Chains A and B, each alone.
Chain A
């Protein structure tokens, strides 16, 4: 499977701080880049997604930044809250009938 490389593996952030998770890919055919959020004991759920025709997408405290030339994209969580503590997965897929490829995940802990 084509890979999406995600870092860091784990992250501890103070409440109110900014959480940043990074992903990199090689396949230039990828054209859809979602982030999934997973709480303990639950399945992953779509958080936010971006297409490569824009460099940034913001939804509330969550922002995806996309750098097409560097083949990198990142998730920024502003004003991080303890309720944001979860595992975050980046993913990517090419156009057409091909499923998502996921990164290995980042376990985020937001401490008060």
Chain B
């Protein structure tokens, strides 16, 4: 089975531009997570969905960030407008529910650079 698929793998954009990151979770998984990884802050949970419904978005840094999950096989994370401090690796992950003990499977990440 294919793992979590993210696109683009690398994105370089200018400050102020809109950035859209895409994710296809593992088929059958009903929980989806967006994480951001930086050297300073490690892995931060931005938002997670259960059965396509956003459950907790308290990790989303500000209103410039938004995430959607229109169906069980697709999610987007959008940054508008982007800023240099948004430069990071963004990971999408999925699991069979967010319950304790369920393994979270990560994609390979989207490396974002905002100049």
Contacts and interface: CB of A to CB of B under 8 A. Distances in A.
B42 A98 contact: no
B76 to A, nearest CB: 18
Interface in B37-92: 41-43, 45, 48, 50, 55-56, 58-59, 91
Residue of A93, A98, A99, A101 contacting most chain B CB atoms (<10 Å): A99
Contacts of B101: 32, 49, 51
Interface in B4-42: 4, 31, 33, 35, 41-42
B61 to A, nearest CB: 13
A89 interface: yes
B112 interface: no
A60 interface: no
Contacts of A28: none
Contact of A43 (B42, B45, B58, B107): B107
Contact of B43 (A31, A34, A105): A105
Interface of B: 4, 31, 33, 35, 41-43, 45, 48, 50, 55-56, 58-59, 91, 93, 97-101, 103-109
